[in-house]
Amino acid sequence: MDSVAAFHENLHGQVLDLLRTVGTFGRTETGGISRLAASREEQGARDHLCRWLRAHGFTVRIDPVGNIFGVLDLGDALSDRAFFCGSHLDSQPDGGNFDGALGVVCACIAALFLKDRVCRGELKPAYRYYVVTCWTGEEGARFQPSLVGSSVFTGTLDLETAWALEDADGIALKDALRDTGYRGTDDVLRPDHYLELHIEQGTRLEAVGGVIGLVETCWGADKLRVQVTGKADHTGPTPMEDRRDALLAAARVVVAAREISDAAEETLYSSVGRMELHPNSPNTVVDAATLWVEFRSASQHALEQATQAFENRLPKIAEQTGCDLAIPLREHREAIRFDATAIDHAAATLDGAGVPYLHLDTIAGHDAIRMQSVCPSTLLFVPSRDGITHSPLEFTSDADVCAGFDAMTAVLARLIARPENDRRSGQ
């Protein structure tokens, strides 16, 4: 084995080792990961990341919403521009160890690849700074909405609004960040390109034999918080006709969302992924229910029709159940297209390396979609076994992890050497 091949094999080993180490933080009895945003479990993973970055020559900066930026000065470059690469470390409750963590880990080890190429004189970067990025609250599991850190960074979400977000126990994000040591004060470089490697969270890559996904578009989403107000009563003696059962109304809301997606002329996904009930006692009629309703589609027209149809159903549900229904919070996420020039360069790189790939869209949200609003962004996928994600069964093989790392570093080397990629999209 020659020295270059041995070096790459060593990098693969470091990717797998770091990924497994990150997976020890928040490990559950089921083998899954519970590493919610700004929790003690996530703090452990973040502390380990910061130690790794500092040990490998990075300057670590933390902004007020807790985003971590490991800044590596590549030295003699064609400009003072910054190339960002990363993902997130927070998880869903009892989720998996690949969602988000894979992108952060590969971004770290990619720095070793870049330094080697620069030292060998094989790469003249057009960017002076390489920045490993770990975003806060991507999952939206503890604090809603999702993509909190990247939304604040890109100006989509106001910092004070983000700080005021509360979890189910009434703990504000601002306080949780303070308690875990990640409410920073550092100024941060602005990005000129962003690259993210992620698991697919679907089955399209696996179906064709484990290739790379080159993501072109992301579906839009409408997320609605529905508040149902009824009246508490005894579940025994209270006559059925006198009950104002918020849970009955909530059940009709769930059915309505599904019926709307089933009847849509264009592809439309819907879900009610979370519901909170009060007083949540087996002998008391529910007097309050809160539901998290989502519609997702590649078509803005389909989303508009769905949300309008959904709102039109609420007065009928109120009439049927005697409850009041309202939508106190809304989040709209536009469908977006990733930077076409970067996609062309990535495709040419993969073609030149003989790496098979598919052009894909993504239904799930990623921090890359927020970053596309301020700079060209590139999103790559690796296969997920059976498409399972947000679950202890989430899995990507070592071979696919290493293949994804190789594809990512090849694309990274090309993009980071090309000054024509430095235009700022969306500004």
pLDDT at position 1: 56
pLDDT at residue 267 in the model: 96
Fold held by 221-333: Alpha-Beta Plaits (3.30.70)
Regarding the domain delimited by 3-219+335-422, which CATH topology (the fold level of the hierarchy) does it fall under? Aminopeptidase (3.40.630)
Can you tell me which residue has the tokens 């470089």?
189
Return the closest-CA partner of residue 96 out of 390, 386, 382, 387: 390
Q: What is the pLDDT of residues 147-189, one digit of tens each?
A: 999 999 999 999 999 999 999 999 999 999 999 999 999 999 9
- Percent of residues, the chain, with pLDDT higher than 70: 97
Full-model pTM: 0.89
At 421, the pLDDT band (50, 70, 90 cuts) reads: very low
If you average pLDDT over residues 130-136, what whole number do you get? 98
Where do the domains of the chain lie? 3-219+335-422, 221-333
Confidence grade of residue 4 (pLDDT, cut at 50, 70, 90): low
Is the pLDDT confidence value at 420 over 70?
no
Give the whole-number percent of the chain exceeding pLDDT 90: 92
| Residue 418 pLDDT exceeds 70 | yes
- Once rounded to an integer, what is the mean pLDDT over residues 97-114? 97
- pLDDT at position 425 over 50: no
Question: What value does the mean pLDDT take over residues 186-201?
Answer: 97
pLDDT band of residue 427 (cuts 50, 70, 90) is very low
Judged against a pLDDT cut of 70, whether residue 3 lies above it is answered with: no
Quickly state the pLDDT bin for 424 (edges 50, 70, 90).
very low
pLDDT grade for 419, boundaries at 50, 70 and 90:
low
Looking at residue 128, its pLDDT comes to 94
Q: What is the mean pLDDT of the chain?
A: 94
Say yes or no to pLDDT of 70 above 80: yes
* 246-302 pLDDT, tens digit each: 999 999 999 999 999 999 999 999 999 999 999 999 999 999 999 999 999 999 999
- Model confidence over 333-374: pLDDT tens digits? 899 999 999 999 999 999 999 999 999 999 999 999 999 999
Q: What is the pLDDT of residues 25-46, one digit of tens each?
A: 999 999 999 999 999 999 999 9
- pLDDT tens track for 215-227: 999 999 999 999 9
At residue 422, does pLDDT exceed 60? no
Q: Is the pLDDT of residue 426 over 50?
A: no
